Structure 1
């Protein structure tokens, strides 16, 4: 009798896979945009000091000195400049009451553009920087301070101050030897408001 035996051997093979991760670094070129100088920070608990803002050399043209950037427009007829009035300007720690000329306007996109809050603020930043101005604050006015403003004044200056109730306020100051020009700017995703006020400063001449 012949016995036949068949042996089956299983061979295990380990496959080692080496994975190499590829890392891509993106380098972004610096923006050419010039931001307005920020006012020096104040010590905790101290009030904003107008004199801390550097003097500008000159102002561009005549009041109101600044125009809406390309792509934006006032949807209504222009509001007449008020030769002398009193308006509240938010400085980040208080309402500064400014007496002098006042110009105000609603801000919408023109018919060829979509409204962009970022583009609007960016363009005004650039305009103010070119004039040697400073951004004083970019913050909300506390509700209890807004409530101290007379309702008739808020209605009369709705085109310029309309966003003061709930929107972040961008406040700018351009200061020269004989005047201060304040800009109040607010915007949301659909439209904006801005107000420009100029107060004259008495200068003393030394003989």
Structure 2
């Protein structure tokens, strides 16, 4: 019995020993269509198949097969919690099972697949570690045991045939299945596969079992309607993480920046306040679909409009500037054509315009939220006399210089300030200055130091190009290392983004 106790997460002998029935769930919404044909002893009428947009690894279309849940008799058998039944003596998951609060899985039906959503459990089944010296894997033993317990629970077999593994490695499914159900489908290409359905008054239970001769793949899913755990917030950035998810890195918070949102036709460059975050839930619990559904729920709550869903074309994705990818890579990814993305626009009642980009990837997700607004200038021009007075009294002074977003290019509106620094240096030939660049704590420290140094060198070059000797000027970047205010507010971060002149 030690091997049975080692089966992680199982409700032991749920059917045969009569585990206590779980609390009722909301009734699952039945799908429409015909019953799927079986190759078992109790064949059912063939099901209707429709195009799904899914492709197998070789590019062939994968039909989406409808299923009529009413074709399955209602079972009153008391079941416990997911995954509802135990494995035969001596069998156990090879690795830690993947159990997700909400996911979706394309169960094999007919010539295609049928989507089912809900809490899921999946694993590769093998001989338990403490039984390997006395037992070898038998596909027949495992299959007969599970068939028996499922039938005792009132299950109906709705499919028996080949796995067609390449369905799960197509471009639309590879990341989602690989992140959630890889242990259950990483069998040989046409591994014998069975699908069972248990219909109960308060839920439907789907089981897919594939035999790989020396192991088996198992998926158990409790079909139920989605209930969001993320809620729209009244305060920027408005989005909240699903239950069980946590940030993977510190979020980026910028009072003013630009982010390009793909609309399906081109990039909409939105300038304003920006928040960017990446997050996950651990390898065993992360579900791309759970993130997607929670985002959809928040956007519905806010009245958001879906602008784009899918993969950004490779040619357009490669056109994204390296500065943007470096700055937002953790949240938005680096190769924008290699993952599913969604873009929403939210027009808030008070007139504010909000844009949301979501990255849905293999084992993590991220989003960027931008509130469109004009730059609120916080720096002020200092004339040469004021610059000299501040340098004489304090030894340093902050100058009003603006740069392109995440670049070292000096913007035209900074030229009056450059002219005043030039006048100061010409009026005092013996004056030598160190030009220091600083940033807030948005972005990585390494990137911030590099950017701040490049900006300081741009100011140095602007002065030497007007005849100031290079020996009178030095340039250095300190990134976020020398803040003059806390980075927990817009005003504080604005003060930390600066260029200073230091008397040498």
TM-score with structure 1 length normalisation? Answer: 0.69
Match of 1:96 in 2: 114
1:117-156 pair list within 5 angstroms: 117-142=139-164, 145-146=167-168, 147=170, 149-156=172-179
Q: Is the 8 A contact 1:39 1:134 kept in 2?
A: no
Cα distance in 2 between the residues matched to 1:153 and 1:92:
22
Q: CA deviation at 1:159?
A: 1.3
Match of 1:62 in 2: 81
Q: CA deviation at 1:162?
A: 2.1
Cα distance in 1 between the residues matched to 2:109 and 2:208:
10
For residues 145-180 of structure 1, the C-alpha deviation after alignment (integer angstroms, 9 at most, x for no partner) is 443651112312111222374212111111112211
Stretch moving more, 42-51 or 178-187:
42-51
Q: Is the 8 A contact 1:38 1:134 kept in 2?
A: no
Using a 3 Å threshold, how does the CA distance of structure 1 residues 149 and 142 change in structure 2: closer, same or farther? Answer: farther
Q: Is the 8 A contact 1:107 1:191 kept in 2?
A: yes
Using a 3 Å threshold, how does the CA distance of structure 1 residues 155 and 104 change in structure 2: closer, same or farther? Answer: same
For residues 111-142 of structure 1, the C-alpha deviation after alignment (integer angstroms, 9 at most, x for no partner) is 23110011111111001011111111110145
Cα distance in 2 between the residues matched to 1:122 and 1:148:
35
CA RMSD of the aligned region, Å? 2.6
Q: Is the 8 A contact 1:141 1:165 kept in 2?
A: yes
- 3-state DSSP class of the match of 1:51? helix
Structure 2 unaligned residues grouped into runs of 5+: 1-39, 50-65, 227-504
Match of 1:7 in 2: none
Match of 2:97 among 74, 78, 82: 78
Cα distance in 1 between the residues matched to 2:164 and 2:196:
18
Cα distance in 2 between the residues matched to 1:116 and 1:131:
23
Cα distance in 2 between the residues matched to 1:142 and 1:192:
15
Using a 3 Å threshold, how does the CA distance of structure 1 residues 143 and 85 change in structure 2: closer, same or farther? Answer: closer
Cα distance in 1 between the residues matched to 2:225 and 2:41:
22
Aligned residues between the structures: 165
Q: Is the 8 A contact 2:101 2:120 kept in 1?
A: yes
Cα distance in 2 between the residues matched to 1:154 and 1:165:
15
Q: Is the 8 A contact 2:47 2:67 kept in 1?
A: no
Q: CA deviation at 1:109?
A: 1.6
Q: CA deviation at 1:74?
A: 1.4
Cα distance in 2 between the residues matched to 1:65 and 1:179:
13
Q: Is the 8 A contact 1:134 1:174 kept in 2?
A: yes
Q: Is the 8 A contact 1:178 1:201 kept in 2?
A: no
Q: Is the 8 A contact 1:92 1:141 kept in 2?
A: no
Using a 3 Å threshold, how does the CA distance of structure 1 residues 163 and 39 change in structure 2: closer, same or farther? Answer: farther
Using a 3 Å threshold, how does the CA distance of structure 1 residues 39 and 153 change in structure 2: closer, same or farther? Answer: farther
Using a 3 Å threshold, how does the CA distance of structure 1 residues 93 and 49 change in structure 2: closer, same or farther? Answer: farther
For residues 178-198 of structure 1, the C-alpha deviation after alignment (integer angstroms, 9 at most, x for no partner) is 211100111122111101011
1:194 aligns with 2:218: yes
Match of 1:49 in 2: 68
Moved over 4 A (4+): 37-40, 43-48, 141-146
For residues 65-90 of structure 1, the C-alpha deviation after alignment (integer angstroms, 9 at most, x for no partner) is 122221211122333x2011111111
Structure showing the higher helix proportion among its residues: 2
Cα distance in 2 between the residues matched to 1:135 and 1:55:
14
Match of 2:182 in 1: 158
Match of 1:185 in 2: 209
Match of 2:137 among 115, 125, 140: 115
Structure 1 unaligned residues grouped into runs of 5+: 1-36, 203-207
